[in-house]
Chains A and B, each alone.
Chain A
């Protein structure tokens, strides 16, 4: 067979598998969030639909069916094309990031080596940052096109928030790039087989987590969709599947963020001290991150808009810069 065709077929299969896993994973993430938050709030949570071991195993499917059958409403004054396009952009950009995340060590079957990332790009980290910047368009366009004041305010907040936190987010990754000397995620993971990057970059790790929370609009940075102020922010006018798509994008972003954090800082599929590398480690690490996100959501109140901006520019950015600077100085002193 033509080697190029083989590569394309392989990439296609991998993409389809990743997308299917992500979309079902998203659905069960909503179930997990509902269960976790319920326990935090002295409630029981969903436990009726398709009950298995006290867990409502079919709840996400019931939710999805309900969502599909809701009225698909487009406001009269909305810009229809953009209004319809925006949720697609949100989900599309959320999925794109998964093209470069290595999920498993390479496997050799019948002399054919399979890499468990869809594309082994040598500038993967740059690619991630670029895709992260794109994801804002879904929110901005959705909020703008709906022609609703709440949506507009949500979109404006979102723009300002993402622009200011992206700088620190990028800088928090620069430290790792300097330590590992590569932009390829595959190589970054392979280098962490014994010692994880978080050991060299603890501050960068924390800054990354905070900025990532702000990037994906989770509590306490969920201002673009602040329920108590802006009703639902940019998604106020959305209903039915379009609403579900925004929801999906949010949860896939959550998965992406935790996958990147695990990959860049916690060794991705590498086990601690090189024990049994494999996709299970990645999943465990991601789950821990996701649980922490849910925990934060269940406990913390929201920042105010101006406080958020101040925190981003006056605290996180100087810290990230200092982290980069110190890393550079140490590397030079060590003669690397």
Chain B
């Protein structure tokens, strides 16, 4: 493989930087008392000023922070801190962090849902996990845990049963070899914490009140209307995992739909705090198990931001190749999966999966594992490419994948039934797509030209020549086409990367089981096939992250489901859901 000079950056980086200092000055000019303090990590806003400041940041034409990237909270010994990452769709650049300090006794902060509707699910998650109340939130209920659950799992004083210690490795729980069959004590084992006054034998979950798009309430028990409530999932052939959709239908028409999440919740973030930084790498594979390489990359970016290490050229190229291959197979499979949801009996899907197998062969030979790759490390990648790998990849990228993609495009895009089923179905207007913090193909399908690879070029994406395709209508058809076009662009990137990949180191420094991560915090993000996958890390200098938060694109995208599906038929709901390409491993974490 010839070593060539990298080509010049195709796109100039955005000129206006989101400098915290200048932004803080502008906030101060408008609301002199709003800014409490300022650092490179973010701007601390006074709690009662938050909605004003957010609205100002969103509406001021000079700032136009119209996109809420991420919303999370950190449990410090003396206070809670709610962190908002905002960025501007038109300007791009790194997101700025707004922070609000909340006291521990009565943790309440104003809800940002009226300003950014994408905050809905994220605020519910923060409430659920850390117990911070959001005043003015329209539907502040637990989202991942069950109603009636005792405690807030992400608080530092919360210890999950069986995992009482702070960090791994854990001591043995029964050091005298003592053992009690937990079923003898209660039906839930003792792997669950439940309220102290709960009688497990007579427990009935709270009555299933169904939100019906704000029109009226229909309760299951008083079913005297002609609307019925249909629970689609959690066991259902096409909810892509254990997702439950509480659907109110009038005949076949959907009146309201509410996703019920948490069936696959495993408290990924708490696990992340117990693990060391490196131990988290294989856990990120399990977030979106279709795109483990891309998850690895985003996490590596976040930790490298904290550590300040530079990744060698060759490793960067390897990373880009892996991530783009992941994107190709994830998107090509989706072309098939969406057809499956439309009722085509697996045929397109199996053609997509056939190519996926070939790419997984490549992953296997380089990482040792097909799906759970665990391949990237901080400052590089785990192993160098084996002999002949690049040639095999070259064959796929130059010949096989483009041919199959064209073939699939020929047969799938023109199909009359497909067009009738997807055009003008599940429309998400441009403004709503931004306001709902959607990401990835869902956002771009609505005509928003926003791709993290261009908005805040990371790794070496600024060297490659590729376009960001956008849709026009924001319907299912556009989101399907986004996958098709993005695969073409990924193949373009792959061709350039394979041509330019240099020889050399694959890792900065020597391999380490334990990395030293200095004190600080960072929000690192990458363009996952599903959207912007972000990791918000707080390090206190110890081997474990103090806070480890995942901004899961599928989770936040799901917030728009009601918006898109109301008024359509049940069959459309399934297709709309399919067009998100949700993976429950990432939604529930």
Say which one of B119-127, B137-145, B345-353 lies at the interface with A.
Answer: B345-353
Task: Tell me whether A301 and B252 are in contact in the complex, defined as CB-CB below 8 angstroms, given that A42-B351, A219-B345, A228-B238 are known contacts.
Answer: no
A40 in contact (CB, < 8 A): yes
Q: Which residues of B contact A149 (CB under 8 A)?
A: 228, 230
Residues of A within 8 A of B347 (CB): 37, 40-41, 298-299
Interface-facing stretch out of A102-110, A125-133, A185-193, A304-312:
A304-312
- Contacts A219-B345, A220-B343 given; does A301 touch B569 at CB 8 Å: no
- Contact assessment for A227 and B237 in the assembled complex, using a CB-CB cutoff below 8 Å: yes
Contact residues in A for B417 (Cβ distance below 8 Å): 220, 300-303
The stretch that binds A, out of B46-54, B59-67, B334-342, B362-370, is B334-342
Once the chains bind, are B571 and A300 in contact (CB under 8 Å)? no
Residue total for A at the interface (Cβ-Cβ under 8 A): 30
Say whether A298 contacts B345, CB under 8 Å: yes
Q: Mark A218-229, 1 if CB is under 8 A from B, else 0.
A: 011011001111
Contact of B415 with A by CB under 8 A: yes
Tell me, yes or no, whether B503 is within 8 Å of chain A by CB: no
Chain B CB within 8 A of A297 CB: yes
Distance (whole angstroms) from the CB of A87 to the closest CB of chain B? 22
Contact pick for B570, options A153, A219, A222, A299, CB 8 Å = A153
Within residues 278 to 336 of chain A, which ones have a CB less than 8 A from any CB in chain B?
297-307
Q: Of the candidates A42, A220, A228, A305, which one forms a contact with B252 in the assembled complex, judged by CB atoms under 8 Å apart?
A: A305
**Smallest Cβ distance from A290 to chain B, in angstroms?**
16
Complex contacts, A226 vs chain B, CB 8 Å: 343, 571
Beta-carbon contact of B415 and A301 below 8 Å: yes
Contacting B350 at CB < 8 Å: which of A42, A227, A231?
Answer: A42
Which of A157, A219, A303 touches B421 (beta carbons < 8 Å)? A303
CB-defined contacts of B343 to chain A, threshold 8 Å = 219-220, 222, 226-229, 301-302
The answer on a CB contact under 8 Å between B350 and A228 is no
Docked CA distance A219–B340 (Å): 13
Q: Is A43 an interface residue (CB 8 A)?
A: yes
Q: Tell me the complex Cα distance, A307–B569, Å.
A: 11
Name the distance in Å between B420's Cβ and chain A's nearest Cβ. 6
Known: A149-B230, A219-B343, A231-B236. A304 touches B351 (CB 8 A): no
> Which residues of chain A from 231 to 287 have any CB-CB distance to chain B below 8 Å in the complex?
231
**B309 interfacial by beta-carbon distance below 8 Å:** no
Q: A240 → chain B, closest Cβ, in Å?
A: 20
B-contacting residues, A28-69, CB 8 Å: 37, 40-43
Q: Is B11 an interface residue (CB 8 A)?
A: no
How far apart sit A157 and B343, CA to CA, in the bound complex (Å)?
Answer: 16
C-alpha gap A230/B236 in the complex (Å):
9
Which residues of B are found within 8 Å of A219, using beta-carbon distances?
343, 345
A232 to chain B, nearest CB (A): 9
Q: Which residues of A contact B341 (CB under 8 A)?
A: 228
Report A-chain residues with C-beta under 8 Å of the C-beta of B342.
228, 301-302
Complex Cα spacing A306 to B567, Å: 13
Q: Which A residues fall within an 8 A CB radius of B?
A: 37, 40-43, 149-150, 153, 157, 219-220, 222-223, 226-231, 297-307
New contact pairs (16) apart from A303-B420, A303-B421, A307-B421, CB-CB < 8 Å: A37-B347, A40-B347, A219-B343, A219-B345, A220-B417, A227-B238, A228-B237, A228-B238, A230-B570, A231-B237, A301-B339, A301-B415, A302-B342, A302-B571, A306-B252, A307-B420
